[in-house]
Structure 1
Amino acid sequence: MFVRRDEAGRIVAASLEAEGAISEWVEDGEPELLAFGQGEASDATLTASDLRLVRVLEDIVDLLIERDVIRFTDLPEQAQAKLMERKSLRASMRSGLNLLGSGDDGGLI
């Protein structure tokens, strides 16, 4: 595996082929390369967890608003804008996934 290192000598990129600054050869079983790969996997796991948490927080905000615990306008303007953007994106995705239609055409596309 070819790698690129930062100024401190840590692996910051890996590739099956040498390209540009990714030119140092490291054996596949090297502990340093394995640690780099595990770090990448950990980052991906954390990112996926963050995305799920964002959805949970959106649902909590919706529930608090629905139960009149808070008002939407109580939230900072930036938070309002982000929540509205996410609601709009989810709504457009839902309508885009309605492939069979909902009209009187018998469900034909």
Structure 2
Amino acid sequence: MPFVKRDAAGVIVAVSSVGDDMHAEHVEVDDAGLRVFLEGLGPAPQLAASDLPLVRVLEDVVDLLVERAVIRFTDLPAAAQDKLSARRSARAELRQLNLLDDDDGLI
């Protein structure tokens, strides 16, 4: 049961789990304005900055585990297989265009 504070234009600027003088209006959890506010928060900048390098590390770890037969690629959930396959294809295309140095980021 979120309670919100709105600015003069009616845009949500704060959310609270309890109602008080500052957050007097109750909105439903599927409220469009609440969704816009929450999407605007986004991840903390420090976490977002580390996401891309971490993705490459995880790709390398998965490749290593598959190569050493610790796991099979098909053991991964279908969504993970699709994402990894799409990234491998994109990397192969970039490598063909010489836009990607394959020696960076390997474990």
What TM-score, normalized by structure 1, do the two folds share?
0.50
1:51 and 1:5, CA in 2 relative to 1: closer, same or farther beyond 3 A? farther
Equivalent residue, structure 1, for 2:81: 80
1:29-55 C-alpha deviation (Å, 9 max, x unpaired): xxxxxxxxxx99x84443221111111
SS of 1:97's partner is coil
Paired amino acid for 1:87: R
Aligned pairs for 1:10-89 (under 5 A) are: 43-89=44-90
1:5 and 1:80, CA in 2 relative to 1: closer, same or farther beyond 3 A? same
Q: Give the share of equivalent positions with the same residue, in percent.
A: 54
Paired amino acid for 2:61: I
1:85 and 1:43, CA in 2 relative to 1: closer, same or farther beyond 3 A? same
Separation in structure 2 between the aligned mates of residue 46 and residue 97 of structure 1, nearest angstrom: 30
Separation in structure 2 between the aligned mates of residue 64 and residue 46 of structure 1, nearest angstrom: 25
Relative contact order, higher structure (CA 8 A, sep 6+): 2
Paired amino acid for 2:53: R
Separation in structure 2 between the aligned mates of residue 53 and residue 69 of structure 1, nearest angstrom: 21
Structure 1 runs of 4+ aligned residues shifted over 3 Å read: 42-45
Moved more, 44-53 or 79-88: 44-53
1:81 and 1:6, CA in 2 relative to 1: closer, same or farther beyond 3 A? same
Output the aligned Cα RMSD. Answer: 2.8
Q: Bigger radius of gyration, 1 or 2?
A: 1
Of residues 7, 13, 20 in structure 1, which corresponds to 2:12? 7
Runs of at least 5 residues in structure 1 that lack an aligned partner in the other structure: 10-38, 99-109
Paired amino acid for 2:48: T
